Structure 1
Amino acid sequence: MYVTTLCKRFVQAGIAMAISLSAHAQQEIKIGVIYPLTGAAASSGAEMKSALELAVDIINNGAKSVPNLPFSEGGGLPNLKGAKIKLVFADHQGNPQAGATEAERLITQEKVVAIVGAYSSNVTATASQIAERYKIPFINPESSSASLTERNFKWFFRTTAHDDLFVHNFFEFFKELEAKKGIKVKRLAAFNENTLWGNETSKLETKLAAERGYDLTKVISYPAKSTQLTSEVQLLKAAAPQVVMQSSYLGDAIMAMKTYKELGFSPDMILANNSGFTDTEFIRTLGKDAEFVITRDVWSLDLAKNNPLIKEVNDLFFERNKINFTGNSARTFTGLMTLADAINRAGSTEPEAIRKALIQTNIPGNKIIMPWKGIKFDNKGQNVYGSGILVQIIDGKYNTIWPFDLATRDVVWPMPKWDQRK
């Protein structure tokens, strides 16, 4: 047992030394990134990959049009003599085992100093376990399953808020909707995919509905890779909820909306839990059939009125990719910028030094593109300043409708019936 433990320590020490020597010798800092570049979530993965590439280009080469953004002067990381960041991409295909395998490859073969990923909560769970074992920092910009920061990990850091907060936001919205708009919501349904993210969301929604006196008429969990949702939607329609709270990745989100229309299912509102409902392809594919859906989010372009940095960086993203940021890609950009800040403050590529710098992170809200108070991690690796908003699709755009003091448009309620839409 002693020999095994000693050997493991030598392997970890060797990896750390190789990482540090490689970075300083080549003036290049290799960061591994694990995202769904193929498979059902490939569209989302592509947008997040583009966000990472923009962040690295700003750090390495500068962006004079956004002087208030950290590293906008370019030239690499100043505290490491201008060392440039190089991203090493890995495709997890939406498969947790593939995510774990790729994490190990990035650490042991590519000698990355840290890992960023992995969007899908169930993949983040397995990939971050590998990083924890090898003592390599793992930055999670997007995955929202609350349990990810309840594992007593020391090397896991999440910049986004999580579903415990987001689901609480749903019920706060219902309460304020009645108090401030005179709209009373009582009958709910939960319709969620059945991986870690969707299952945890269902449990939270069930718990809060009971605690707050709502009638949860139906809870449906469907296979994440379903090819049709007809029977599930028929069950929803029979339950007759006012609001369907839904957690779906892109393919299922589009399929669900098409099925709602085909079967004439028209609740007062679809209240979505981000993900597929905020992907650029959602509106592009559905067109007018995407209208009026409300989804929780963490970013919206219309909030640039409160933080000019949002529009300034989005303009750079649009110039390169001809699309705007989404809540997903904006969070991915922010995650990598947070990691770069920590590596620079550490002045080292040694994993323990980066981990300590991440623990000490305290980035103010006016230095990030998210509508948050900033980024600061608690002892579980969770950003305590992450927060959520609700946006509604109106005229083909996402408009902030809650919190009401941040709203740029009034909420449209209820959604028009399918046969009453123009």
Structure 2
Amino acid sequence: MSHFIGVFCKLVFMLKSLNVNFFKLFIKIYFRGGDKMKKALVMLLVVALLAGAFGFAPARAGNIVIQMTIGSTKAYVNSKEVILDQPPVIENGRTLVPFRFIGEAIGAKIDWDPVKKAVSYILEDTKIILIIGSTTAFVNGVATKIDVAPKILSGRTMVPVRFISETIGAKVDWNSKTRMVTVTVSPVVKVVKIGGIYPLTGPNAPMGIGDKQAILLAVDEINANGGIKSLGGAKIEVVFADSEGDPKVAMTAAERLIVKDGVIAILGSILSSTTAAIAPVCEKYKTPMVNEGSTSVDLTKHGWKYFFRVTPHDGLYCESMLSFLKDVSKKSGQEIKTIGIMYENTLFGKTAADVWKEKAPAYGFTIVADVPYSAGSADLSSEVLVLKKASPDVILLASYVQDSILITKTMQTLDFNAKAVMGLDGGFIVPSYIEALGPLANYISAEARWSPDIKKPLSQKVNAEYYSKYGQNMDGHNARAYTAAMVLFNAIEEVGSTDKEKIRQA
């Protein structure tokens, strides 16, 4: 009981020194209440004091902003005034500040060795040692030259603020007019979480898995080379979600990744239809989205501020196919006048068809068959028969893997042949298309965005690494996925922050 009373008296003394009115109220309630009330009040007081309700607040979890003015004993930590024993001074063009103040302000563990006349700071994995009068400092045991030596003024140890701040990854700003130094210490980031939404199951899984593999290749490269250096070597971690190729599933996955998993950006998602579902979620939560290969013209017409695409759209790709056909006709002497188009009735297929129908006349071609179909159909015989009946010189197709394979097989079964059959990227450029069809894939051409025989050193290097790891060459899908990942990672490196708005503006 005597111990309880002793603790109570100490707490009451602290309380009286902090707030007289609250002290009077506390005493009145305490002596009128029963034992349970008394114990509850003491526990409440302990919690309040520890929580900083009376001015002893712990360091905030966000940025720490420290402001000091040359010659002034007034400093500010997160806008809270602090009186210094010794004002900052300029020595040989460098600002020296009180050793203990800056250490405590940045949240470091500090120490003074009177024998060696050395001061030390320990913050996370960084240890800094400075010696009075010496221009050699030690960072994690490694000797480092500094511009100005620490010194003692009026009994206070003064240290170079820029060296200490930048060594721990803080940002230092100098205002020459006000002679104010501002140090901004951001929270230590060890892992940067990115979301990845791709079709990892279902008919479009070959594309999704390939993109995932390419992204992981990029992640391994960044992490192996020191991570995000501007964030102190933070490692990239990608949290993947399976869209199943379904826009509703993709939309739900995006919200979960942002809200629950805390990702700061999204990579994805191949299919234009799923990308169109993810992008509005990213807009809602102000989360950057970097898309590698959804090529619908419509995707960049919504005014989305957080949507970025590293590939051209189908307005360019589809027209390039028509331009190619015109060149082939001229150089080969083979007359090409009529075209038949067949496309899945999704955002990808329909926008591709719109471009072909709009642009074909300008190249001297006539669309004689316009055949949409339901993506993922079990049988496309009737649609192929419509094409065969129209007997076009060339067939243009907009399909993904499963449908591309089915259309090619059905054309053989129905003995339908044209002068040329061309696929718009999609399912025609992935290895599984050739693996499924074998020799039947011969003479089927495809508009592609990348090829393993591109004679560029970086392309050759990345493809060799991909082949070594996964046993196959990259294709037009996963090559762009690798590019999208690197674009995002470099944006984070550039801004040195996980702030979504800063990443968006990079």
**TM-score band w.r.t. shorter chain:** 0.7 to 0.9
Aligned-partner SS, 2:218:
helix
Contact 1:271 1:293 in 2 (8 A): yes
Contact 2:275 2:294 in 1 (8 A): yes
Contact 2:194 2:267 in 1 (8 A): yes
Please report how far the alpha carbon of residue 26 of structure 1 lies from its aligned counterpart in structure 2 after TM superposition.
Answer: 4.8
Please report how far the alpha carbon of residue 282 of structure 1 lies from its aligned counterpart in structure 2 after TM superposition.
Answer: 0.5
Task: Tell me which of 33, 39, 46 is aligned to 2:209.
Answer: 46
Measured against aligned partners, the alpha-carbon deviations of 1:299-325 in whole angstroms (never above 9, x if no partner) come to: 00111x2x1211111111011100110
Contact 2:326 2:363 in 1 (8 A): no
Check if 1:37 corresponds to 2:200: yes
Contact 1:177 1:184 in 2 (8 A): no
Q: Which residue of 1 aligns with 2:424?
A: 273
TM-score by length of 1: 0.75
Q: Which residue of 2 aligns with 1:210?
A: 361
Aligned-partner SS, 1:264:
coil
The answer for unaligned runs of 5 or more in structure 1 is 1-15, 18-22, 62-73, 358-422
Please report how far the alpha carbon of residue 24 of structure 1 lies from its aligned counterpart in structure 2 after TM superposition.
Answer: 4.8
Please report how far the alpha carbon of residue 177 of structure 1 lies from its aligned counterpart in structure 2 after TM superposition.
Answer: 1.8
Contact 1:51 1:333 in 2 (8 A): yes
Measured against aligned partners, the alpha-carbon deviations of 1:117-171 in whole angstroms (never above 9, x if no partner) come to: 0000000001011001111000001100011011111110000111000011012
* Amino acid in structure 2 at the alignment position of 1:36: P
Q: Which residue of 1 aligns with 2:318?
A: 167
Tell me the percent identity: 38
Q: What is the distance in 2 between the residues matched to 1:87 and 1:294?
A: 34
Aligned-partner SS, 1:301:
coil
Task: Tell me which of 238, 241, 244 is aligned to 1:87.
Answer: 238
Check if 1:144 corresponds to 2:320: no
Please report how far the alpha carbon of residue 113 of structure 1 lies from its aligned counterpart in structure 2 after TM superposition.
Answer: 0.6
Aligned-partner SS, 1:116:
strand
Q: Which residue of 2 aligns with 1:372?
A: none
Please report how far the alpha carbon of residue 236 of structure 1 lies from its aligned counterpart in structure 2 after TM superposition.
Answer: 0.7
Task: Tell me which of 387, 395, 413 is aligned to 1:262.
Answer: 413
Q: Which residue of 2 aligns with 1:335?
A: 484
Q: What is the CA RMSD across the aligned residues, in angstroms?
A: 1.4
The answer for unaligned runs of 5 or more in structure 2 is 1-61, 64-185
Task: Tell me which of 330, 333, 342 is aligned to 1:191.
Answer: 342
Matches within 5 A, 1:62-81: 74-81=225-232
Aligned-partner SS, 2:379:
coil
Q: Based on CA coordinates, which of the two structures has the bigger radius of gyration?
A: 2
Task: Tell me which of 214, 236, 240 is aligned to 2:387.
Answer: 236
Relative CO higher for 1 or 2, CA cutoff 8 Å, sep ≥ 6?
Answer: 1
Task: Tell me which of 215, 222, 225 is aligned to 2:373.
Answer: 222
> How many positions carry a matched residue from both structures?
323
Contact 1:299 1:326 in 2 (8 A): yes
| Structure 1 or 2: more strand by fraction | 2
* Amino acid in structure 2 at the alignment position of 1:122: S
Q: What is the distance in 1 between the residues matched to 2:411 and 2:391?
A: 13
Q: What is the distance in 2 between the residues matched to 1:217 and 1:269?
A: 15
Matches within 5 A, 1:13-412: 24-61=187-224, 74-303=225-454, 305=455, 307-357=456-506
Q: What is the distance in 1 between the residues matched to 2:334 and 2:283?
A: 47
Q: What is the distance in 1 between the residues matched to 2:300 and 2:490?
A: 21
Aligned-partner SS, 2:453:
helix
Q: What is the distance in 2 between the residues matched to 1:217 and 1:297?
A: 25
Q: Cα distance 1:351–1:218, how it changes in 2: closer, same or farther (>3 A)?
A: same
